[in-house]
Amino acid sequence: MKMAQCGRKSRRRSHAWFGVLSTLCLLNLAGSLAAADWSQWRGPGRDGVALEPLPEKLPDTPTVVWRKAIGHGYAAPVVAGGKLVFLDDSGGLETARCLDAASGHELWSVAVGENYTDEFEPGPRCTPLIDGDRVYVQTCRGEFHCLAMVDGATRWRFNFSDYGTVWIPDKGGGSGAASRRGNAGSPVIDGDHIIVQIGSAEGACLGAFDKRTGKLIWKSQNDLTTYSSLVIGTLARRRQVISATCDGLLAVAPEDGALLWRVPFKTGANRNALTPILGDDTVTFASHTTGLQCQRIVPAGVDSSALKPVEAWYNRQLKINLATPVAVGGHLYGQGENRNFICVDRATGKLAWSQPGFGEVTSTIASGKLLLALSDRGEALLLRANPEKYDEIGRFQACGKSFSHPALADGVLYVRDSRELVAWKLR
Task: Name the DSSP class of 77.
Answer: P
Task: Name the DSSP class of 182.
Answer: -
Indicate whether 293 pLDDT > 90. Answer: yes
pLDDT tens per residue, range 59-84? 888 999 999 999 999 999 999 999 99
In this prediction, residue 264 carries a pLDDT of 96
Q: Rounded to 10 degrees, what is the CA torsion of 168, 169, 175, 176?
A: 60
Nearest to 76 by CA among 68, 66, 85, 67: 85
- Domains of the chain, by residue range, sit at 325-398
Q: Evaluate if pTM is beyond 0.75.
A: yes
Q: In what order do the strands lie in the sheet with 307-315?
A: 277-278, 282-287, 291-299, 307-315
In this prediction, residue 174 carries a pLDDT of 75
pLDDT tens per residue, range 157-187? 999 999 999 998 888 777 889 999 999 999 9
CB-side exposure of 68: number of CA atoms within 13 Å? 23
pLDDT tens per residue, range 89-105? 999 999 999 999 999 99
Q: Give the end-to-end CA distance of the chain in Å, rounded to a whole number.
A: 54
Task: Name the DSSP class of 268.
Answer: G
DSSP symbols for 351-418 = EEEEE----S-EEEEEETTEEEEEETTSEEEEEE--TTS--EEEEEE-SSS--SPPEEETTEEEEE-S
The string over 319-348, giving b where at least 16 C-beta atoms fall within 10 Å of a residue's C-beta and e elsewhere, is bbbbbbbbbbeebbbbbbbebbbbbbebee
Could you tell me the fold of the domain covering 325-398? Answer: Thrombin, subunit H (2.40.10)
Distance from chain centroid for Cα 252: 19
In this prediction, residue 10 carries a pLDDT of 43
In this prediction, residue 35 carries a pLDDT of 52
Q: How many C-beta neighbours within 10 Å does residue 62 have? A: 17
Please, which pLDDT band fits residue 304 given cuts at 50, 70 and 90?
low
